[in-house]
Amino acid sequence: MTSTNDLGQSDALAPVRLARIALTWLAEPGTWSVHRLVDAYGPIGALERLLAGDVPDRRVRTAVAARRAAGDPREVAAAALAHTERLGARLVVPEDDEWPAQVRDLELMTREGAGRVVDQETAPPLAIWVRGNHPLAEALNRAVAVVGARAATPYGDHVASGLGYGLAERDWTVVSGGAHGIDAAAHRGALNAGGLTVAVLACGVDRPYPAGNSSLFDRIVETGLLISEWMPGAEPLRHRFLVRNRLIAAATIGTVLVEAAARSGATQTLRRALAINRPAMVVPGPVTSAMSVGAHELLREHPAARLVTGLPHVLEEVGRIGADLAPLARAPRQPRDLLDDESAVVLEALPRRGVLDVDALAARAGLDLRNTLRKLALLEDLELVVRRDDGYALAVPSARPTTVR
């Protein structure tokens, strides 16, 4: 009889988990040749072929040989699984009920013209380490990514925090990378709303990076999730952040970019979302801000990227069709908005200063006397004109313009 934990993970999957850990250790997450082996032979069969050198990718064969020189993959996997359990974390694999099936959409990503390895190796994850009690698939079922610059401006922090709070308040999970700046602001906004937030790391879940966000990560673990494709103890190497970004894009319904400089990893996350046909949204910033250059260039280069200026726009992009439409932006209605054409002509005919009698006013407006008097009565009701003993004059505008609801 097999046993399961509180999240439905079965001991019967232990050999599969060990194989997937070994594969992740031998080749970096996202490696297509490994993904294809797993699809063809299963994780255990794929591991055997990889260890036998039966893989056409020469670069992967070289990487596997180098890793094997550092230790036995099966022993490394067993130690990693034991360490995972000691941490109170867990390894989620595609064979588990809580696996987020939507990450498989990374298979749709085109790699034509990709020059760097991180742009070529975009395969779906083999396994995900998780810290936190919430089921992973449930947490990501209704999730939006909010990403952006580490060196965020006060404007960017304000926008990201507001989006995080508003999304969480409406029962959306807020996903980001746990970095300083926009990421941290989005996470904190969600936490302050009492909502669910997920930090996707580029290192082990036992050593969240950056260390300066340790208290934030502690809060996230209490009510949300820390997740990673790298085993506990893995270092936050530079290229891993770019590999990680594809998971942020694929695990969520849509991605919002708040601020990004010209060379920002956050723009890559949005490009990943575009590549798999997910809603990709950009918050505009001041045209004089270096921290918005990358965001604005994305809007220029990609017609599919949508400009959003707040939560209503984001909800319209990711929400239910016809149910989450953002209200049209309108200026407050003014009394002049209620005028018909003839009333507007009478108002324009009055001098900016002084008084004009009715006969002269009718002549200037090109209307008969009776019609002019009717329009003047309307203008008086709207407090746009005042009646004097010798005619009519424009009303003196008040300090605060009157709006009409």
75-120 pLDDT, tens digit each: 999 999 999 999 999 999 999 999 999 999 999 876 554 567 667 7
Cβ atoms 305, 280 nearer than 8 A: yes
Among 26, 35, 22, 234, residue whose Cα is nearest residue 121: 35
Q: Is the pTM of this model over 0.75?
A: yes
Q: What is the pLDDT of residue 170?
A: 95
CATH class of this structure's domain 86-318: alpha beta
Which DSSP letter does residue 140 get? H
pLDDT of residue 35: 95
Low-confidence ranges of the chain (pLDDT < 70): 1-10, 110-115, 117-118, 320-335, 398-405
Structure confidence at residue 398 (pLDDT): 60
Q: What is the predicted pLDDT for the residue at 331?
A: 56
Q: Dump pLDDT digits (tens) for 270-283.
A: 999 999 999 999 99
User: In whole angstroms, how far apart are CA 287 and each of 86, 148, 255, 276, 290?
Assistant: 50, 16, 22, 29, 8
Q: Are 235 and 203 in contact (CB under 8 A)?
A: yes
Topology of domain 335-394, CATH: Arc Repressor Mutant, subunit A (1.10.10)
pLDDT, residue 123, reads 94
pLDDT of amino acid 401: 46
Q: What is the mean pLDDT of the chain?
A: 89
Give the C-alpha separation, 9 to 26, whole Å: 24
At 380 the pLDDT is 87
Q: 335-394: same fold as 86-318?
A: no
Ordered by start, the domain boundaries in the chain are 86-318, 335-394
- The SS3 assignment for 299 reads helix
Whose tokens are 């004089």? That residue is 288
Distance CA 222, CA 132 (A): 7
**Token pair in block for residue 191:** 């936490």
The pLDDT, as a whole number, for residue 400 is: 42
Nearest by Cα to 134 from 170, 179, 89:
89
